[in-house]
Amino acid sequence: MASLHGQRVVRQEDRALLTRGGTYVADVADPLLDGAAHVTFVRSTMAHARITGIDVEGVRTAPGVVGVFTAADLGLGFAPMAVPVLPPAMARPWLAGEVVRFVGEPIVVILTERRDQGEDAAEQAIIDYEPLPVVAHPEDARNDEVLLFPDHGSNTAAVFGDEGDASEFADCEVVVRERLVNQRVAVAPLEVRSTAAAVGADGRLNVWMSTQAPQSARHAITRAFGWELDSVRLIAPDVGGGFGAKIGPYPEEMLVAWLVRHLGRPLRWLETRSENMVAMGHGRGQIQHITIGGGRDGVVLAYRLDILQDSGAYPSMGAFLPYMTRVMAAGVYAIPNVACHATSVVTNTMTTVAYRGAGRPEATAAIERAMDLFAAEIGMSPAEVRRRNLIDVASFPHTTPTGAVYDIGDYRRALDLVLDAAGYDELLAEQASRRASGAVRQIGIGLALYVEITAGPTAGKESARVEIRPDGRAMVFTGTSPHGQGHETSWAMIASDVLGIGLDDIEVIHGDTDLVPRGMGTMGSRSLQLGGSAVLEASEQVLDLARRVAAELLGVGVDDVVLDHDAGVFRQAHDAVGGASVSWQQVAVAAAGEGGSLAAGADFQASTPTYPFGAHVAVVELDSETGLVTLDRFIAVDDAGRVLNPLIAEGQRHGGIAQGAAQALCEEMVYDDDANPLTTTFADYTFISACELPSFELVAMETPTPVNPLGAKGVGESGTIGSTPAVQNAVVDALSPWGVRHLDMPATPQRVWRAIAAGHDLSSRQGT
């Protein structure tokens, strides 16, 4: 049987999704949930205010209401901090009882017989507020004139790096500075947050949750309330998108579990889209100041990145992510002097969390804009400036000035491949022709290179267990928890390659803590290199066990037994086909008869993270009369080490590129100066669709890593990391004839049109 590794195997899990459809938390029909009441939260309409009164008497008498709780009723205090090193004084209450700090913060929880009754009952809640001064913007938060947490004495939640000085730029002929905004975005999974819970006949709490990490969620719930770990079973059914924001869990989700244990009645919670937009964690939210310096020969000598991170009202993972931005600040470049300083501050907005790439896209966006700005200043091609500063292939493993140790890479080859595939010289010629003719529709060409960290310092290890059933079929238990990544197919491919059992006879089990009690879940592009390697090791251990049993059945020594992968049977070494053999079923039955089983578990932990890399080219067309930018072409080289299944890897690249392009072109979570959210539905939050995107041109490149036995690096976030600056650079390039040096994201028609208008106005004034 030929190896499946590297083959384009169609995803096995898609059959059910395309026929019967997925089973999401809202679809779960377990008998334990019969008669479940529905949870509704009354949320703050003020961004910052003292609560002077909560009147829920009208709620209690509303139709269908079976329970009403305020902070005083719960008596629970504060939810645990997602990152323990953050200031305890900034902890979030389970329900706001004294002060609200963002629009959408929960104040009252209502239980009703039907879901629609909760929406009606919430209208009867009367909350009295005493408005407090609002801090809507991180630059205002930093001055500490208005404190969100007076007991802490500052709005600063975390600081990373050192202040440094300007001495590293003393020998630079050219120094360029710019302020960049990596805007706040809504994660917007198509399945909103959802939780259901019920107590079983054994007294244990069963929780169904839309989560990326069921084992971690179970740990969080039990730790928060002081329960025994085994008293909770957590199940993640099909999950309709996570993107980092469902690593969680959130206070609302944990409260559902507490209320069920407290009341003894099953409950369901399904938030609305508007709730999701304002009360689920947001992504990005950095203001960056870059300084880049070097010679007119194109060699960069120094680079500095100063970050102001918007943590939102209650600091969580987002406050910590500048650490990852700092680690990856140097990008793919051999810059001798690199410094980065970051400050995370709180504002009266929703908390920021991990979002596809989690700190690494922000680093790439900054350095890639810096390289374009530097190239423009010295009058050199952006491609040539990059080429002159790339880390040499001979220097790996390479340690950067910020402490990252890149495992392996060939950045020059990635650059050459993408430029060749794009027809870069031909694009430049077309651009020159359009500019010379004064065409209304101009084109912009954007280039970006990236390197990112996957299975990073907090990724931990991953577990797997492989078991052969008496009928000869294999079961793979994995601690990863897929939500679109194709793990069921990928893990079956790995097991099949080792065991010689067909894909249709391998079942992959995940997302249930009773069946898989240990695991980290799916985030940080960690799954294949850690979870897949664990499956590989467990499969190899099962094979060793099976060979011992087969040796007894065949009456030969263990060393004389081989697995015939094509036939799926064990034979004596050098036996001709047709000689004595035993099947997996026979071996499994024999093992069971001896009181054992053909099963083995493995925990895989890599010695270091891995560092995928790539190069992207974006081509945009700009309508100079309307400001409309259209993404015409996108060419990508993404090197994620050795690729297990190109079909699945390409799907991950497609999704990542789409999300990155969306941030560059249209997506932005907007608050006004009073911290009122203005983009609360898909009617006003410009969520990208396939209609706004071209067919992506994907170029293959594989540089296997020595860090794990599969040679694999992560690929789930890479597309997001390279595409955003590539598209942004293309937009700025298209605007350069109007003297535009930089344009912050997103490149909406209004923002682009204003930049053109300002350029026309500047030309007019300079002409006179």
Name the residue among 715, 693, 691 with its Cα closest to residue 702. 715
Q: What is the mean pLDDT of residues 527-553?
A: 97
Contacts of 217 (CB under 8 A, 6+ apart): 207, 209, 211, 234, 236, 248, 249, 253
Q: Is the pLDDT of residue 333 over 50?
A: yes
Q: Does residue 641 contact residue 3 with C-beta atoms inside 8 Å?
A: no
The hierarchical CATH code for the domain 457-604 is 3.30.365.10
**How many angstroms separate the CA atoms of 629 and 621, rounded?**
6
Extract the tokens encoding 673: 């100066």
**How many angstroms separate the CA atoms of 758 and 764, rounded?**
10
Q: What is the mean pLDDT of residues 675-695?
A: 96
For residue 753, which phi and psi values (nearest 5 degrees)? -60, -40
Q: Kindly indicate the confidence band of residue 326, based on its pLDDT and cuts at 50, 70 and 90.
A: very high
The hierarchical CATH code for the domain 35-132 is 3.90.1170.50
**How many angstroms separate the CA atoms of 253 and 219, rounded?**
13
Q: How far is CA 560 from the centre of its chain?
A: 48
147: region left, alpha or beta (phi > 0 left; psi from -120 to 50 alpha):
beta
* Number of residues that this document lists for the chain: 768
Name the residue among 95, 17, 100, 86 with its Cα closest to residue 51. 100
Q: Does residue 253 contact residue 208 with C-beta atoms inside 8 Å?
A: no
Q: State the average pLDDT for the chain.
A: 96
Helix, strand or coil for residue 220? Answer: helix
Q: Is the pLDDT of residue 761 over 80?
A: no
Extract the tokens encoding 322: 């500048």
> What's the count of helices (H) and strands (E) in the chain, helices before strands?
20, 28
Name the residue among 366, 374, 386 with its Cα closest to residue 292. 374
**How many angstroms separate the CA atoms of 186 and 241, rounded?**
13
Q: Is the pLDDT of residue 118 over 70?
A: yes
Write down the pLDDT at residue 768.
38
Assigned CATH topology for domain 282-403+410-454+610-767: Aldehyde Oxidoreductase; domain 4 (3.30.365)
Fold equal for 35-132 and 457-604: no
Q: Is the pLDDT of residue 578 over 90?
A: no
Contacts of 343 (CB under 8 A, 6+ apart): 142, 156, 158, 159, 160, 307, 308, 309, 322
Residue tagged 């053999």 (tokens) = 581
Contacts of 7 (CB under 8 A, 6+ apart): 493, 645, 646
Contacts of 16 (CB under 8 A, 6+ apart): 22
**How many angstroms separate the CA atoms of 555 and 532, rounded?**
34
Helix, strand or coil for residue 297? Answer: coil
Write down the pLDDT at residue 649.
98
Q: What is the mean pLDDT of residues 102-115?
A: 98
Q: What is the mean pLDDT of residues 264-272?
A: 98
Q: What Cα–Cα distance (Å) separates residue 597 from each residue in 475, 534, 549, 554, 563?
A: 12, 19, 10, 18, 18
Q: Does residue 186 contact residue 277 with C-beta atoms inside 8 Å?
A: yes
Q: Does residue 695 contact residue 654 with C-beta atoms inside 8 Å?
A: no
**DSSP letters of 506-533?**
EEEE-SBTTT------S-TT-IIIIIIH
**How many angstroms separate the CA atoms of 581 and 577, rounded?**
9
Q: How does pLDDT run across 626-676, given as a tens digit for each residue?
A: 999 999 999 999 999 999 999 999 999 999 999 999 999 999 999 999 999
Write down the pLDDT at residue 767.
47
Q: Kindly indicate the confidence band of residue 765, based on its pLDDT and cuts at 50, 70 and 90.
A: very low
**How many angstroms separate the CA atoms of 59 and 626, rounded?**
50
Preceding amide of 249 cis, omega within 30 = yes
**How many angstroms separate the CA atoms of 101 and 351, rounded?**
10
Q: What Cα–Cα distance (Å) separates residue 721 from each residue in 129, 269, 717?
A: 42, 33, 7
Q: Is the pLDDT of residue 412 over 90?
A: yes
Q: Is 108 exposed, middle or buried (0-12, 13-18, 19+ CB in 10 A)?
A: buried
Q: Is 117 exposed, middle or buried (0-12, 13-18, 19+ CB in 10 A)?
A: buried
**How many angstroms separate the CA atoms of 352 and 349, rounded?**
9
Which pTM was predicted? Answer: 0.96
Write down the pLDDT at residue 248.
85
Q: Does residue 673 contact residue 192 with C-beta atoms inside 8 Å?
A: no
Domain ranges of the chain: 35-132, 282-403+410-454+610-767, 457-604
Q: Is 167 exposed, middle or buried (0-12, 13-18, 19+ CB in 10 A)?
A: exposed
Share of the chain above pLDDT 70, in %: 98
Count CB neighbours of 165 within 10 A.
Answer: 10
Count CB neighbours of 76 within 10 A.
Answer: 17
Write down the pLDDT at residue 440.
96
Q: What is the mean pLDDT of residues 178-190?
A: 98
Q: Is the pLDDT of residue 760 over 90?
A: no
Three-state SS for 354-417 is: CCCCCCHHHHHHHHHHHHHHHHHHHCCCHHHHHHHHECCHHHCCEECCCCCEECCCCHHHHHHH
Contacts of 722 (CB under 8 A, 6+ apart): 364, 448, 449, 450, 614, 615, 616, 636, 638, 657, 660
CA angle 20, 27, 246 (to 5 degrees): 105
Name the residue among 519, 510, 454 with its Cα closest to residue 239. 510
Q: How does pLDDT run across 193-235, given as a tens digit for each residue?
A: 999 999 999 999 999 999 999 999 999 999 999 999 999 999 9
Q: How far is CA 140 from the centre of its chain?
A: 28
Q: Kindly indicate the confidence band of residue 458, based on its pLDDT and cuts at 50, 70 and 90.
A: low
DSSP letter assigned to residue 167: G
Q: What is the mean pLDDT of residues 334-357?
A: 97
CA angle 35, 212, 719 (to 5 degrees): 140
Share of the chain above pLDDT 90, in %: 94
Contacts of 409 (CB under 8 A, 6+ apart): 332, 391, 393, 396, 398, 451, 611, 613, 639, 703
Q: How far is CA 376 from the centre of its chain?
A: 33
